[in-house]
Structure 1
């Protein structure tokens, strides 16, 4: 089993380029199915989840050409719709959460699709309900085949409709938008997600000939068109990586420059880090983080303890809460982390407590962190990464800790972060990949 061995406690220095946004990649790559013409997409991250989706499109008959490490052309002129009923699709589609994103484009262009029944726990019940309810409002019919374990979807007559989403799901909004661009008439989506990734998708679709207005708001209007053409598109840098690198610089007392961050697309993220006492300086479109011996968490105006909570965009993204939590362990002051949107995302704090952090886990959604003000350094331990974001948070903790840490299950980290060990070594980190089995507990 692959693991990372880290000797921490060393300040890092240098420049790092964030990868393309994973969440945007899954949406815009799926959108190539809406046209028979060539679509070129650049700044694609070389990570497992994205590569699996590209492979799935290839199996469907999309002609794919890799021009360089991060740029591909896609041409979906000749799609094999029978592939949907195959055991191969069931195995691949079932293992990839992003595979749901191809359903909207296929319904729009071909009037039918099939998806294997997703595993309940991995995705959570409501997450896909938003997609299904949106498609049904546009006129799609779902027929579940218990023998094959497939949902067959008939959408031969999609019509524009008023769609009030039950939650502001990013992937749910993206899927309904893609289904609606070729539907007859006007579709209005209320309580739409408005993340930068979704804005990017809508701008790309408009360049392909779609007619979408209200981009960036929670009320999107789509006038259906007859067909879409090709385009070129470049992904935004990954805001979660940018936030992770800000946290890394603060925790390790390092001077790091994050290149080409597309600052205006980061929303409230820089401000949240500033409230934790981290100095950030914008130089052109690069984010410079100076080496800081200490950083102090602000309080609210009335002196009460700062709370950092997640919320739909333009609120703070839940994917960075685990990073904020780790940073707070070495800050001066206290903070309450409130993870509203997902259960069990905070359960990795037991590893940080083992490293010496002062954390009270109030319940599955809230943790209070008592900052150590870098008076007591975290100590290296052996641990296992539970998910992508917690894995990177633990990696940052290990890089700041004294002594040796081993992180198992790094496949989880690599689902979302490309070449992370190579890029950290370029900054001076002592990290290497080893073969190690987790200790049994």
Structure 2
């Protein structure tokens, strides 16, 4: 098992470029199954989850050319549909929750699919209900086979319908959109997720010949078509990386420029970090975070303590709450972090407490951070990364701490952040991979 050895307390400086969006990539790459024609995708993040999905497609007989690490040319003209019911697929997909995204395009084009029980982060329950119920209302029949551990889906009569989602699930919306794109008739999805990832997927499908309207809203209308063709697509910059780098700059009192941040697609992310007192300058599509000795958490107009919580887009993404929490440790003032979506995502705060942070874990969903500013530095410890976002939050803490930290289980970090150690070393960080 690899680990990061981090010698903290160093001020960083320089420019960093965010990778392509991980969450977008899992949807976009799955969508190549919708067409037998060539689809070229650029700005692909070179990370474990995405590379696993690309490997899966290759094992399904999808032709793949990779002229550069961030570019793939896919052609799904000879797909082995039954591979999705194999032990090999079950084993590999168990490491990748994103494999569920293959079901929508498989149902649309090949009229059947198999979904194993989901894998991925250990951050609480992640329901498949939105996916399955949506497919069922489109005319898919399904049953769960306890012996082989697969959901068996049959979509020989896939037809348009009116859907009201019980939750605005990003992956659920994407899966249903892909299935509905080739269903007979018209489908409406109300309470659809409208994150930039979904907008990007819908725009790509429309370039392939789909008829999707309402993009950017929570009401999507999809007129089914008989055929989808090839296209080209480029991923947005990863908004979670952008937020992570803002937090890193603040915690290490560093002067950092995030180049090509995709500012128009960040929503309220910059504003939320500004509420922690972090200054930033917007120059074109770059974000410059100047070095600050101190930053102070804002209070509400009536003097109340600030609360930060996750909410469906255009609210604040849950993937950045771990980063906000660790960033608040270095601020002056207090903030209540309310993680509504995942009940186990705040459990990593025990490691921050061991480092000297003043954090009160109220329950599985809420934590109070009492920022001490420069009064007390964190101290380096040995710890383990429980999930992708908590892992990077711990890495930010380690870079700001005095002494040496060892972060184990960094495979979790590698799932979502490409070459993160190399890119941080380019900013002046003292970090290296060791056997943990």
Pick the TM interval, shorter chain: over 0.9
TM-score by length of structure 1 reads 0.97
Deviation at 1:390, TM superposition (A): 0.6
Deviation at 1:144, TM superposition (A): 2.6
**Residue equivalent to 2:71:** 71
Alignment of 1:260-271 (within 5 A): 260-271=260-271
**Residue equivalent to 1:221:** 221
**Residue equivalent to 2:41:** 41
Mapped partners of 2:297, 2:346: distance in 1: 20
- Alignment check: 8 A CA contact 1:189 1:221 kept: yes
Structure 2: runs of 5+ lacking an equivalent = none
Deviation at 1:358, TM superposition (A): 0.8
Is 1:172 aligned with 2:178?
A: no
Alignment of 1:369-384 (within 5 A): 369-384=369-384
TM-score by length of structure 2 reads 0.98
Mapped partners of 1:66, 1:336: distance in 2: 45
Q: 1:101 to 1:258 in 2, by over 3 A?
A: same
**Residue equivalent to 1:230:** 230
Mapped partners of 2:333, 2:427: distance in 1: 29
Q: 1:120 to 1:62 in 2, by over 3 A?
A: closer
**Residue equivalent to 1:2:** 2
Structure 1: runs of 5+ lacking an equivalent = 437-441
Deviation at 1:125, TM superposition (A): 5.5
**Residue equivalent to 1:109:** 109
Deviation at 1:149, TM superposition (A): 2.4
Mapped partners of 1:150, 1:274: distance in 2: 45
Q: 1:238 to 1:126 in 2, by over 3 A?
A: closer
**Residue equivalent to 1:405:** 405
Deviation at 1:140, TM superposition (A): 0.3
**Residue equivalent to 1:439:** none
Deviation at 1:412, TM superposition (A): 0.7
Aligned-partner SS, 2:332: coil
**Residue equivalent to 2:342:** 342
Q: 1:16 to 1:435 in 2, by over 3 A?
A: same
Aligned-partner SS, 1:308: strand
- Alignment check: 8 A CA contact 1:127 1:169 kept: no
Alignment of 1:35-434 (within 5 A): 35-118=35-118, 127-434=127-434
Mapped partners of 1:121, 1:319: distance in 2: 12
- Alignment check: 8 A CA contact 1:62 1:75 kept: yes
The RMSD of aligned alpha carbons is 1.3
| Corresponding pairs, count | 436
Q: 1:424 to 1:214 in 2, by over 3 A?
A: same
Deviation at 1:374, TM superposition (A): 1.4
Aligned-partner SS, 2:160: coil
Mapped partners of 1:417, 1:313: distance in 2: 22
